[in-house]
């Protein structure tokens, strides 16, 4: 096994671009393709090489990362005529860091295996800041062997790097993450609107609750933005909704994504809280706030309470 020198990257958006820079910093040769070439410019200036299709990225890479918005994008990037599967070499490890459905991960995995290459579903948590700092949490599904081979590449972009199980396990773990994030967000939003209506100083309330059993990343990071009326996105409502839809769809028919042959065919998992968060965030989307940060859920609760 030769060590990996050439790494490809498909998708140089908010997450992909800083990843490319961290790969370059680590000493990899980096080849990139992105739907919008202008978004790749900063990465090209930093030393990456441009090619005109995902197919060509794959042809030049011993390992590659894809990072695109949604399931259809991942399918297009891998399965289209000039997609990754058309150019991928045997033994190459393709690492998909998009958050997509476990079914998409399975489908792409089968196609990549058909080319005698390996696929890892590897969604990340930590946002733009984590991507820039190279400290992303990466949750990985797929063969352990491919996981070990990909480790130098994973280490260049992430910090908490965890093999969660066979193909699909990365996406399923990310869904758990999003279920918790959604409800922690609702927790903070309800406390904030309650505090406002009863006349408490929100800042003082947050100071106390952040020191005890109510402490959370959401209290630390989202509530202070709510208090300042800062609804700029760290993570957009539209993206959270995409992820919660995948979670709720998967929960409705978990049998279709079971991880091990010996698992019983699972029946639906009711997720009443997650469903409620999804509905309330739909009210934000209805109000034209889909591109705002998830902390804008507060505004839906304020509208419900006539507390705007």
Active site residues: 174
CB of 7 to its own copies, least distance (A): 23
CB of 169 to its own copies, least distance (A): 6
Closest CB to its own copies among residues 52, 201? 201
Closest CB to its own copies among residues 30, 271? 271
| Tokens found for residue 235 | 């993570």
Comparing CA positions, the residue from 214, 209, 302 lying closest to residue 201 is: 209
CB of 104 to its own copies, least distance (A): 15
Tell me the CA distances in angstroms from 56 to 59, 85, 89, one per residue in order.
5, 10, 11
Closest CB to its own copies among residues 115, 278? 278
Token pair 């259809």 in the structure block, residue: 72
CB of 290 to its own copies, least distance (A): 19
Give the sign of the dihedral formed by CA 295, CA 299, CA 300, CA 304: positive
- Alpha-carbon distance 67 to 99, whole Å? 8
Closest CB to its own copies among residues 149, 163? 163
Judge contact between 177 and 139, C-beta under 8 A.
yes
- Three-state DSSP at 250 gives helix
């Amino acid at each position: 096994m030769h060590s990996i020198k050439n790494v490809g990257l498909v998708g140089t958006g908010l997450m992909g671009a800083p990843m490319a820079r961290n790969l370059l910093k680590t000493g990899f040769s980096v080849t990139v393709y992105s739907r919008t070439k202008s978004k790749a410019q900063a990465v090209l200036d930093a030393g990456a090489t441009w090619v005109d299709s995902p197919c060509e990225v794959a042809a030049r890479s011993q390992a590659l990362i894809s990072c695109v918005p949604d399931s259809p994008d991942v399918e297009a990037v891998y399965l289209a005529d000039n997609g990754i599967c058309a150019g991928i070499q045997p033994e190459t490890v393709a690492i998909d860091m998009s958050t997509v459905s476990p079914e998409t991960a399975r489908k792409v995995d089968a196609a990549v295996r058909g080319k005698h290459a390996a696929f890892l579903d590897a969604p990340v948590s930590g946002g733009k800041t984590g991507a820039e700092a190279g400290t992303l949490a990466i949750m990985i599904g797929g063969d352990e062997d491919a996981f070990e081979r990909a480790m130098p590449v994973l280490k260049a972009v992430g910090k908490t790097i965890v093999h969660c199980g066979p193909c699909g396990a990365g996406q399923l773990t990310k869904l758990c993450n999003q279920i918790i994030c959604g409800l922690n967000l609702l927790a903070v939003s309800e406390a904030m609107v309650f505090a406002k209506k009863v006349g408490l100083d929100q800042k003082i309330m947050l100071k106390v609750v952040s020191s005890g059993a109510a402490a959370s990343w959401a209290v630390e990071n989202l509530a202070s933005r709510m208090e300042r009326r800062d609804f700029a996105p760290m993570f957009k409502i539209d993206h959270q909704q995409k992820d919660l839809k995948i979670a709720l769809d998967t929960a409705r028919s978990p049998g279709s994504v079971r991880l091990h042959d010996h698992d019983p065919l699972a029946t639906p998992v009711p997720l009443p809280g997650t469903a409620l968060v999804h509905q309330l965030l739909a009210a934000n989307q209805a109000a034209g706030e889909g591109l705002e940060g998830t902390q804008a859920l507060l505004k839906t609760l304020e509208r419900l309470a006539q507390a705007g």
